[in-house]
A and B are shown apart, each in its own frame.
Chain A
Amino acid sequence: EDKVVQSPLSLVVHEGDTVTLNCSYEVTNFRSLLWYKQEKKAPTFLFMLTSSGIEKKSGRLSSILDKKELSSILNITATQTGDSAIYLCAVKLNAGNNRKLIWGLGTSLAVNP
């Protein structure tokens, strides 16, 4: 059965800290891995990773995929209270599986002032 596991499930940090969120996967038909941020409503897209070892960066957020280890990390540096959210990782399957997304449970991040 295809699955995506995120860790930790929840995390509480202080403003200015750096956090690393983990996502590991076991799927039969990997195409890409995606990271989303969910606040009160629907998830918003952060990154899509398809190649191993190539870091994607957006401001204080960065992410990298390791296909050998079947995992990805999402880094947030100099955290701010606005970073508080649930961070979701999803793996996109190949076309034979309708390219559907397999979702992890998410990491709930709380950044305290």
Chain B
Amino acid sequence: GAVVSQHPSRVICKSGTSVKIECRSLDFQATTMFWYRQFPKKSLMLMATSNEGSKATYEQGVEKDKFLINHASLTLSTLTVTSAHPEDSSFYICSARGFGDSTEAFFGQGTRLTVV
């Protein structure tokens, strides 16, 4: 199956700093990438949908200026958590979908963010 690589897998940062998470589709062109957040023992919460070359569509309640998403190419999307606070600590997962209606979304390995 298709491969989506997410980096880093784990990051610890200080409050007030920014953290960038990368999501790459390695063997297909991702027209759409989704960014999720997952709390312990909870389901995936969609944060935003990004289409290559256009602005991301954020879900209600997700701050655009806090979670900056860039999808500059068909193989790379980035999520930057700006001015991170301890409450931003979570598991962040990206998924990528290619061309065609029948392509399911493939997930990256996830990033465990801890803000201290």
Taking Cβ atoms with an 8 Å cutoff, the residues of A that contact B are 31, 34, 41-45, 48, 88, 92, 95, 98-101, 103-106, 108
Q: Does B42 lie within 8 Å of A105, measured CB to CB?
A: yes
7 more A-B contacts (CB under 8 A) besides A42-B93, A88-B43? Answer: A34-B105, A41-B110, A88-B44, A98-B57, A99-B101, A104-B43, A108-B41
Return B25 CB to nearest CB of chain A, in Å: 14
On chain B, which size bracket covers the interface?
20 to 34
Taking Cβ atoms with an 8 Å cutoff, the residues of B that contact A are 1, 6, 32, 34, 41-46, 49, 51, 57, 93, 97, 101-102, 104-110
Q: Does A100 lie within 8 Å of B34, measured CB to CB?
A: yes
Q: How far is the CA of A44 from the CA of B109 in the complex (A)?
A: 10
Return B100 CB to nearest CB of chain A, in Å: 11
Q: How far is the CA of A48 from the CA of B51 in the complex (A)?
A: 22
Taking CB as reference atom, which chain B residue is nearest A31?
Answer: B101
Tell which of A101, A104, A108 has the most Cβ of chain B within 10 Å: A101
| Complex contacts, A92 vs chain B, CB 8 Å | 104
Tell which of B42, B43, B57, B107 has the most Cβ of chain A within 10 Å: B43
Q: Does B32 lie within 8 Å of A98, measured CB to CB?
A: yes
| Complex contacts, B109 vs chain A, CB 8 Å | 41-42
Q: Does A106 lie within 8 Å of B43, measured CB to CB?
A: yes
Q: How far is the CA of A67 from the CA of B78 in the complex (A)?
A: 37
| Complex contacts, B51 vs chain A, CB 8 Å | 98
Q: How far is the CA of A42 from the CA of B34 in the complex (A)?
A: 13
Q: Does A101 lie within 8 Å of B43, measured CB to CB?
A: no
Q: How far is the CA of A92 from the CA of B42 in the complex (A)?
A: 19
